[in-house]
Amino acid sequence: MAPRGFRFWLLTLAALAGVAATFALGAWQMRRAAEKLDMQAAIERREALPDVAQRSLWSAPPADILHRIVLLRGTWVPASTVFLDNRQMLGKAGFYVVTPLRLEGSDSVVLVQRGWAPRNFLEREKLPPIDTPSGVVELRARIAPAPAKLYEFAGAEPGPIRQNLELERFRSETGLPLLQVTVQQLGPPSDGLSREWPAPALGIERHYGYAFQWWALSGLIAILYAWFQFIAPRRKAHAAG
Q: What is the CA radius of gyration of the chain?
A: 28
Q: Quick check: is 208 in a domain?
A: yes
Residue at a domain's end among 185, 215, 230: 185
Q: Quick check: is 53 in a domain?
A: no
Residue at a domain's end among 140, 158, 185: 185
Q: Same domain for 135 and 176? A: yes
For the stretch 148-190, pLDDT in tens is: 888 765 555 678 999 999 899 999 999 999 999 999 999 999 9
Q: Same domain for 226 and 172? A: no
Range ranked top by mean pLDDT from 49-58, 110-119, 151-160, 203-212: 110-119
Q: Same domain for 38 and 74? A: no
Q: Same domain for 103 and 171? A: yes
Q: pLDDT value at position 199?
A: 77
Torsion over CA: 39, 45, 47, 49 (sign): negative
Q: Same domain for 39 and 77? A: no
For the stretch 127-145, pLDDT in tens is: 999 999 999 999 999 999 8
- CA dist 195 and 188 (Å) reads 7
- CA dist 91 and 89 (Å) reads 5
Please determine, for residue 62, whether its predicted confidence score (pLDDT) is greater than 90.
no
Q: Quick check: is 63 in a domain?
A: no
Q: Same domain for 209 and 170? A: no
Q: Same domain for 100 and 134? A: yes
Domain span including residue 8? 2-43+204-240
Q: Same domain for 146 and 97? A: yes
- CA dist 73 and 117 (Å) reads 23
Q: Same domain for 173 and 226? A: no
Q: Quick check: is 62 in a domain?
A: no
CA-to-CA separations, 237 to 15, 226, 233, in angstroms, rounded: 23, 16, 6
Find the mean pLDDT for residues 69-76: 96
Domains in the chain, number: 2
- CA dist 140 and 185 (Å) reads 6
Q: Quick check: is 52 in a domain?
A: no
Q: Same domain for 74 and 103? A: yes
Q: Same domain for 177 and 78? A: yes
Q: Quick check: is 118 in a domain?
A: yes
Beta bridge partners of 152: none
Q: Same domain for 90 and 164? A: yes
Q: Quick check: is 57 in a domain?
A: no
Mean pLDDT of the chain: 89
Q: Quick check: is 56 in a domain?
A: no
